[in-house]
Amino acid sequence: MKLLVVATLVVTLSLVSGELLQMLKLLNDSDSFRYLSDEEKIFLVEVVAAAEACKLTPLVNVVGMDAITRLIIHLPGDNEYYGNLYVTDHLSKEERGTCIVDATAPPPPTTPSGGVVVGR
Protein backbone atom coordinates (compact mmCIF):
# COMPACT_ATOMS: atom_id res chain seq x y z
CA MET A 1 0.00 0.00 0.00
CA LYS A 2 2.88 2.39 0.75
CA LEU A 3 4.13 1.84 -2.80
CA LEU A 4 0.75 2.94 -4.12
CA VAL A 5 0.88 6.09 -1.97
CA VAL A 6 4.39 6.88 -3.24
CA ALA A 7 3.40 6.17 -6.85
CA THR A 8 0.37 8.44 -6.50
CA LEU A 9 2.56 11.18 -5.04
CA VAL A 10 5.19 10.84 -7.78
CA VAL A 11 2.61 11.15 -10.54
CA THR A 12 0.87 13.99 -8.75
CA LEU A 13 4.06 15.86 -7.92
CA SER A 14 5.30 15.74 -11.49
CA LEU A 15 2.45 18.08 -12.47
CA VAL A 16 2.02 20.32 -9.47
CA SER A 17 2.45 23.82 -8.20
CA GLY A 18 4.61 25.06 -5.36
CA GLU A 19 1.43 25.59 -3.35
CA LEU A 20 0.53 21.92 -3.75
CA LEU A 21 3.99 20.81 -2.69
CA GLN A 22 3.66 22.95 0.42
CA MET A 23 0.18 21.57 1.13
CA LEU A 24 1.32 17.95 0.69
CA LYS A 25 4.26 18.50 3.03
CA LEU A 26 1.92 19.99 5.63
CA LEU A 27 -0.41 16.99 5.23
CA ASN A 28 2.44 14.51 5.49
CA ASP A 29 3.72 16.16 8.67
CA SER A 30 0.32 16.55 10.33
CA ASP A 31 -1.13 14.41 13.10
CA SER A 32 -4.40 14.30 11.15
CA PHE A 33 -2.78 12.45 8.28
CA ARG A 34 -1.47 9.75 10.62
CA TYR A 35 -5.00 8.89 11.77
CA LEU A 36 -6.27 8.21 8.27
CA SER A 37 -6.28 4.79 6.63
CA ASP A 38 -3.98 4.29 3.62
CA GLU A 39 -7.00 4.59 1.30
CA GLU A 40 -8.06 7.85 2.96
CA LYS A 41 -4.52 9.21 2.68
CA ILE A 42 -4.47 8.47 -1.05
CA PHE A 43 -7.89 10.01 -1.53
CA LEU A 44 -6.92 13.12 0.46
CA VAL A 45 -3.81 13.56 -1.71
CA GLU A 46 -6.02 13.20 -4.81
CA VAL A 47 -8.45 15.82 -3.50
CA VAL A 48 -5.67 18.29 -2.69
CA ALA A 49 -3.93 17.67 -6.02
CA ALA A 50 -7.19 18.18 -7.90
CA ALA A 51 -7.92 21.38 -5.98
CA GLU A 52 -4.46 22.82 -6.60
CA ALA A 53 -4.68 21.90 -10.30
CA CYS A 54 -8.09 23.61 -10.54
CA LYS A 55 -9.66 20.23 -11.33
CA LEU A 56 -11.67 19.66 -8.15
CA THR A 57 -15.03 20.01 -9.90
CA PRO A 58 -14.30 17.13 -12.31
CA LEU A 59 -13.19 14.99 -9.35
CA VAL A 60 -16.42 15.80 -7.51
CA ASN A 61 -18.35 14.85 -10.65
CA VAL A 62 -16.63 11.43 -10.67
CA VAL A 63 -16.52 10.49 -6.97
CA GLY A 64 -19.35 12.63 -5.63
CA MET A 65 -19.28 15.35 -3.00
CA ASP A 66 -20.48 12.84 -0.38
CA ALA A 67 -17.21 10.89 -0.67
CA ILE A 68 -15.17 14.06 -0.12
CA THR A 69 -17.39 15.13 2.78
CA ARG A 70 -17.00 11.70 4.44
CA LEU A 71 -13.22 12.06 4.13
CA ILE A 72 -13.22 15.55 5.64
CA ILE A 73 -15.42 14.43 8.55
CA HIS A 74 -12.68 11.93 9.52
CA LEU A 75 -10.17 14.73 10.06
CA PRO A 76 -9.69 15.39 13.79
CA GLY A 77 -10.20 18.68 15.59
CA ASP A 78 -10.31 21.90 13.60
CA ASN A 79 -9.04 20.10 10.52
CA GLU A 80 -12.60 19.16 9.59
CA TYR A 81 -13.57 22.84 9.52
CA TYR A 82 -10.48 23.89 7.57
CA GLY A 83 -10.77 20.94 5.18
CA ASN A 84 -14.33 21.92 4.38
CA LEU A 85 -13.32 25.57 3.95
CA TYR A 86 -10.44 24.52 1.65
CA VAL A 87 -12.69 22.41 -0.61
CA THR A 88 -15.47 25.00 -0.67
CA ASP A 89 -13.01 27.79 -1.50
CA HIS A 90 -11.44 25.86 -4.37
CA LEU A 91 -14.81 24.82 -5.81
CA SER A 92 -15.95 28.44 -5.64
CA LYS A 93 -12.80 29.67 -7.41
CA GLU A 94 -13.26 27.06 -10.15
CA GLU A 95 -16.89 28.09 -10.60
CA ARG A 96 -15.95 31.79 -10.85
CA GLY A 97 -13.02 31.07 -13.16
CA THR A 98 -10.54 32.59 -10.71
CA CYS A 99 -8.66 29.39 -9.84
CA ILE A 100 -5.00 29.71 -10.86
CA VAL A 101 -2.37 26.97 -11.13
CA ASP A 102 1.14 28.10 -10.21
CA ALA A 103 3.00 26.94 -13.32
CA THR A 104 6.18 28.78 -12.30
CA ALA A 105 6.97 26.49 -9.37
CA PRO A 106 10.31 24.71 -9.48
CA PRO A 107 10.27 20.94 -9.95
CA PRO A 108 10.18 18.85 -6.77
CA PRO A 109 13.50 17.66 -5.34
CA THR A 110 14.45 14.11 -6.24
CA THR A 111 16.67 11.38 -4.84
CA PRO A 112 19.67 10.06 -6.82
CA SER A 113 17.46 7.19 -8.06
CA GLY A 114 14.87 9.65 -9.36
CA GLY A 115 12.29 9.33 -6.58
CA VAL A 116 10.53 12.45 -5.39
CA VAL A 117 11.44 13.69 -1.91
CA VAL A 118 8.29 14.23 0.17
CA GLY A 119 8.81 15.47 3.72
CA ARG A 120 11.45 14.04 6.04
pLDDT at 20: 67
User: Is the Cβ–Cβ distance between 95 and 58 less than 8 Å?
Assistant: no
Cα(108)–Cα(117) distance, integer angstroms: 7
What's the confidence (pLDDT) of residue 39?
Answer: 92
Instruction: Output the DSSP codes for 70-116.
Output: HHHHTS-TTHHHHHHHHHHHHHHHHHHT-----TTPPPPPB-TTSPB
Structure confidence at residue 96 (pLDDT): 96
Per-10-residue mean pLDDT for the chain, 120 residues long? 48 54 75 84 89 92 95 85 90 93 56 46
How far is residue 98 CA from its own chain's centroid? 19
Whether the CB-CB separation of 46 and 83 falls below 8 Å is answered with no
